[in-house]
Structures are given as C-alpha cells and as structure tokens.
Amino acid sequence: AMKGAIFDLDGVIVDTAKYHYLAWRALANRLGFEFTEADNERLKGVSRMRSLQILLEVGGMDADEAEREQMAELKNKEYVDYISRLESSELLPGAKEYLMFLRSRGVRIALGSASKNAAFILERLGITELFDAVVDGTKVAKAKPDPEVFLTASAELGLDPADCVVFEDAAAGVEAAKAAGCRVVGIGSADILGAADQVVGGLDALLP
Ligand code: B16
Ligand code: MG
C-alpha cells in the first residue's frame, strides 16, 4: 500500500512551465534569437543551468561560466517576478483536493522538485502546510534522472522508497523515480511517460 506520496511541482501541481517559458524566451530575444514553445518542452523537469545550456544550443551560442551565471540570474529574476503574482486559482485541477484526500487517509506527503523556487511557489499557492517534507533544487546536488531527489524525499518522510508513489510529468522524473525504487504515476501522455506504472491526464483523475 502507499505510505508516502512524492509530488513533482511544475506540471503536476501547477503550470509554472508557462512562466519559465516567458522568462527564457525574453532571455533568448535579448541574446538575439527566437525560442519557441516547442523548444521549451525540452526544459521541463530539467535544472536551471542545464536549461540554459539547451537554450544556448538552440541559439547556436557559446558563453563562459561567468556569463552563464549572469544569464541564469537574469532569467530567474524575471521568472520570480511572474511567480510573485501566482494565485491559488492556478493550481492544476484536482491537485489540492488530491493532497487533502491523501492526508485524510494518513499518507505522508513530500515535494520532489528540481526548482530552487519551490518553497516560494508553495507559499504563493497556500499549500505549504499540506507537505510533511519539501525536497527541492536547493537540497539536492544531482538533477533528475538521478534518483537523489526521490531518495531524499523518502528518507525525509521516514519511509522506504518502495512504499512511496511518485507523481511526475517529465520523462526524466519518471526515470529518476524508477531508479529510486518508487512506484510512479505519470501525469500527462503515455507517449512520453511510458516507463511509468500508470499514466493519468491529471491528479483530478485520481480523486474518488
Ligand atoms: P528553478 P519540477 C522544474 O520543476 C521545471 O520543470 C524546470 O523547467 C525548471 O528549470 C526547474 O524546475 C528548475 O527551476 O529555475 O526555479 O530552480 O518539474 O522539477 O518541479
Ligand atoms: Mg515537472
């Protein structure tokens, strides 16, 4: 039975991908090239610095370490401007209800996100109290598909990974969860998330 549930943030609980996109596109435009929504798909679930690397590849650009740090900081400033205005109405359908349902069943709940802005986003959405543990980009060194984030989340819940179910929208996240030894529910399309144990369109599909 499921004793713990570990949730990815972007794409599972809230659609912050659109704000990541606006901020990355603004950076690309400033650097003099286009960055499309299709390009942005490649950034889902991917760490900030790896995202920048992909963006620079798209633009056929090179930058040294110091320049990349500066670019990432610029992008993040703009992204934080957007998420400062985030409202609880932007929670994905069924997200809050499913978290509350699991809690009522005694399931322990963790966040397992790559984002360094995760705690701030949970605050903005008013759902911080629904989590027993928050493991995010400020706590882990190795990005998904490395299992570190989910191993740490299970440990913080005091549970064996085999007793935890991970909810993920990105292929790299599904891979990371499997590698950690967790069961995985993919949120999105089975075309991309075929490695998951089960795939649903959204958390609303899991409500009783
Ligand atoms: P930040 P997740 C990921 O969130 C996003 O999907 C990805 O696009 C982003 O680059 C990454 O967080 C890092 O975010 O720049 O805020 O640290 O899906 O792992 O919740
Ligand atoms: Mg995600």
Cis peptide before 145 (omega within 30 of 0): yes
ipTM of the complex: 0.95
Using CA atoms of 178, 11, 48, 177 in order, give the dihedral in degrees to the nearest 10.
Answer: -10
Measured by CA distance, the residue closest to atom 15 of ligand 1 is 48
- Take atom 6 of ligand 1 and give the residue whose Cα is closest: 45
Protein residue whose Cα sits closest to atom 14 of ligand 1: 115
**SS3 state of residue 134:** strand
Kindly give the number of the ligand 1 atom that is closest to the alpha carbon of 170. Answer: 18
Q: Is residue 154 lining ligand 1, measured as CB closer than 6 Å?
A: no
Which atom in ligand 1 lies closest to the alpha carbon of residue 76? Answer: 15
Amino acid identity of residue 146, one-letter, is D
Cite the DSSP H helix spans in 130-205. Answer: 148-157, 171-180, 190-193
166 close to ligand 1 (CB < 6 Angstrom): no
Task: Dump pLDDT digits (tens) for 168-204.
Answer: 999 999 999 999 999 999 999 999 999 999 999 999 9
Tens digits of per-residue pLDDT, 127-168?
A: 999 999 999 999 999 999 999 999 999 999 999 999 999 999
The predicted-structure confidence for 82-129, as pLDDT tens digits, reads as follows: 999 999 999 999 999 999 999 999 999 999 999 999 999 999 999 999
Q: What is the pTM of this model?
A: 0.95
Question: Which pairing describes strands 108-112 and 164-168: parallel, antiparallel, or unpaired?
Answer: unpaired
* Ligand 2 midpoint to CA 118 (Å): 11
Binding residues for Mg(2+): 8, 10, 168-169
Alpha carbons 15 and 21: distance in angstroms, whole number: 11
Q: Is the beta carbon of 113 within 6 A of some atom in ligand 1?
A: yes
* Distance (Å) from CA 136 to ligand 1 centroid: 9
Query: For position 1, what pLDDT does the model report?
Result: 80
CA 19 → CA 76, 83, 86, 156, 207, distances in Å? 10, 7, 10, 29, 28
DSSP count for the chain of H helices, then E strands: 9, 6
Ligand nearest to the CA of 42: 1
For ligand 1, what atom is nearest to the CA of residue 114? 19
- Active-site residue set: 8, 10
